Structure 1
Amino acid sequence: MKLVDIETVEPGQILGRTIFSSNGAILLSVGVHLTVFMISTLKRIGVTTIYIDDPNFRDIPHQEVLSVETKRTVIYKMSEMFAQLRSGKTFSSRAIADTVDDLLEDVLRNQNNMIHLSDIRTADNAMFLHSMNVCMMASLIGLNMGLNMVQLKELAIGALLHDIGKIGAPEVQEGRMHHAWRGFDLLKNKREYSLLIAHVAFQHHEAVDGSGAPRGLKNEDIHLYAKITAVANIYDNLIYPQGDEEPLLPHEACERLNAYSGTLLDHEILVQFMRMVSTYPNGISVRLSNRETGVIVRQHRGLPGRPIVRAIDKDGNDAVSYSEIDLAQNPTLFIEAVLS
């Protein structure tokens, strides 16, 4: 499986990763043979890269933290909740709590899998996937920081609902109209939830140096759950930005996060996050410092910048062969550029 630019996809190629619609239904299933119409539709709805099934890379481990079924459930429940709020109704606290239970089961089962945000986003599903990914990443960070199950569930619900104040919010968000205030006001009245859950929505845009919003809180005044959610939120927004901003590749996003250490983000939480994130995810094409090109095929947990690369070798007759280079065993080699 390889990650490729949508502009290079040809009819007949096989989709390597399921694409979801805005209500959690499967838009295109893994294994489908792509047609001209499908490719055109993906371009029209804003898809820029997709995973393609490549017989030379079928053995690449596909290790997700969340299962396809859990993703479908989370996206469906989020779309249902947003629709209820837009129509002026309340939402079911129990339904969200049950959804988080399913998500946490996957997180606990797959806690050794590295973070790799790979789901294809469209204009319709972007907000739901953002909420799901922030929840998943925040839960993994909390787990690695030793939070107990009660704390993990509070954190996960807060992270899943961190942007709830954006529903129906005005374009200009100032003062009590800031979506953090709106989210806090919505969640603090949910008697089934701890007030700490509401504070995740309230504080996830605060910064440890006091430069954040909406209240300019400083490090010691920001709750741990909100600090954790802030790291996950900013990372996801760097990979999948809103508006006209250019998306960053995972290694570029990690560099940006490190630049925020001690200003926007808590240093110790960043350390935990960097231990879990896949800086160069499986399936992407890279060029090495020795000018060889290849595809990332496996990872070393704790050494995110030193994965295993399957290099593509061509002889004088253009015959193709492959050899694997373990960057952890070759300290003089490094990844010079990401090609997809």
Structure 2
Amino acid sequence: MRYVNIDDVEAGQFLGKAVYSGNGTVLLSAGVQLTVYMVNTLNRIGVTMLYIQDPLFEDVEAEDILQEATKQTLIHGISDTFEAVRSGKEWNAQKIGTSVEKLLTDIIDNKDLLIELTEIRTVDNDQYVHAMNVCLISTVMGINLGLNYIQAKELAIGALLHDIGKTGLSAEEEIIPGVKNHHTWRGFEKLKNKREFNLLIAHVALQHHERVDGLGIPRGLAGEEIHIYAKIVAVANMYDHLISHLEGGKSLLPHEACEEMMAMSEQQLDREVLIQFTRMVSVYPNGSAVRLSTKETGVVVSQHRGLPGRPVVRIIRNEGNDIDIKEIDLAQETTIFIEGVLA
């Protein structure tokens, strides 16, 4: 598969990875042959990147930590929860707990994989994919930082529900950070009385916009006053926002987002959590087209755990009637670097 910009997708190509609707059902299945109507519709609903099947890269797969069934369960669970909150109904905490247990099982089974956030986003599913991504990143970081299973589950639930306070809240209603109508306070209020949940889960919603330098919201907590769960979710939340829908500008590529976040170390974000984050997120996802310092262009085909910036790149040249294929392992070729991503 190749990971390509929607503007480069042509009718007749085959979809490499499923696209989900807002409630977790499959909108388009992997393997479907795309028509002009489908491509135009995907463009209209906000899709910017797609996985496309390619015979020259048929062995290349996205490094998915989560199974498709787990993703559907998570998105469906968070969709149902937010809809219940929006309509003022009681929501099922047990369903969220079950979804998170499936996520934990997948993470433990795939602990050697790097995180690649390449889920196809639409206007309809963006809020729920964001919640799932933040949950995934946070939980992997938490486990790598030494949390036990119970703590990791608490963190995962808090991460999945960190924005529950935004449900039913317009931007105009949240114009004064720090007051009780801010979504962090609202989220805390919605979660603190859930008997099935530890109170720490509510504090994730309350504290995920605090900064380690004390200049965050809603309470201006600093350093060790901020719980480790919230510090972890703050990093995951920042990364997913930067690569998906940067407010007032263009979304950043994964390696650009990582560079920007490192500049926030010990100001907005916790340094130790950031270091752990950079070790487990893929900055050049499989299928991405890249340009090397040798001026050659190729496609990322595999990753190295612990060296996310040094993947294996496949370069294909057409020489007359022959195709020349070579792979460069950047972990071995230490004088060659990725200069840019070809979106």
Give the match for residue 122 of structure 2: 122
Identity among equivalent pairs (%): 55
Indicate whether 1:325 and 2:328 are aligned.
yes
CA distance in 2, matches of 1:318, 1:208: 59
Give the match for residue 184 of structure 1: 188
Give the match for residue 256 of structure 2: 252
Deviations along 1:31-64, one digit per CA (max 9) or x if unpaired, are 1110111111101101111110001111124321
Q: How do 1:191-206 and structure 2 match up within 5 A? A: 191-206=195-210
Retained in 1: the 8 A contact 2:116–2:285?
A: yes
How far is the alpha carbon of 1:79 from its aligned partner?
Answer: 1.1
How far is the alpha carbon of 1:225 from its aligned partner?
Answer: 0.3
Q: How do 1:1-340 and structure 2 match up within 5 A? A: 1-172=1-172, 173=174, 174=176, 175-241=179-245, 243-315=247-319, 317=320, 319-340=322-343
How many positions carry a matched residue from both structures?
339
Q: What amino acid is the match of 1:120?
A: I
How far is the alpha carbon of 1:318 from its aligned partner?
Answer: 7.0
CA distance in 2, matches of 1:99, 1:304: 28
CA distance in 1, matches of 2:47, 2:197: 36
Retained in 2: the 8 A contact 1:209–1:264?
A: yes
How far is the alpha carbon of 1:245 from its aligned partner?
Answer: 2.4
How far is the alpha carbon of 1:170 from its aligned partner?
Answer: 3.2
Q: What amino acid is the match of 1:47?
A: V
Retained in 1: the 8 A contact 2:21–2:124?
A: yes
CA distance in 1, matches of 2:229, 2:9: 41
CA distance in 1, matches of 2:316, 2:302: 15
Retained in 1: the 8 A contact 2:312–2:328?
A: yes
Retained in 1: the 8 A contact 2:62–2:285?
A: no
CA distance in 2, matches of 1:27, 1:244: 29
TM-score (structure 1 length as normaliser): 0.97
Deviations along 1:91-110, one digit per CA (max 9) or x if unpaired, are 11111111111111111111
Q: Determine helix, strand or coil for the equivalent of 2:180.
A: helix
Q: What amino acid is the match of 1:314?
A: N
Superposition RMSD in Å: 1.1
Retained in 2: the 8 A contact 1:116–1:281?
A: yes
Change (3 A) 1:47 1:245: same
Q: What amino acid is the match of 1:329?
A: Q
CA distance in 2, matches of 1:25, 1:325: 38
Retained in 2: the 8 A contact 1:279–1:304?
A: yes
CA distance in 1, matches of 2:76, 2:266: 37
How far is the alpha carbon of 1:320 from its aligned partner?
Answer: 3.2
CA distance in 2, matches of 1:39, 1:135: 30
How far is the alpha carbon of 1:89 from its aligned partner?
Answer: 1.0
Deviations along 1:158-194, one digit per CA (max 9) or x if unpaired, are 0000000000113142211110000001111112111
Change (3 A) 1:261 1:243: closer
Deviations along 1:275-299, one digit per CA (max 9) or x if unpaired, are 1010111100011111111000111
TM-score (structure 2 length as normaliser): 0.96
Retained in 2: the 8 A contact 1:170–1:177?
A: no
Retained in 1: the 8 A contact 2:61–2:287?
A: no
CA distance in 2, matches of 1:243, 1:290: 35
Deviations along 1:186-243, one digit per CA (max 9) or x if unpaired, are 1111121111000000000000001111111001100000000111000000111155
CA distance in 1, matches of 2:61, 2:194: 41
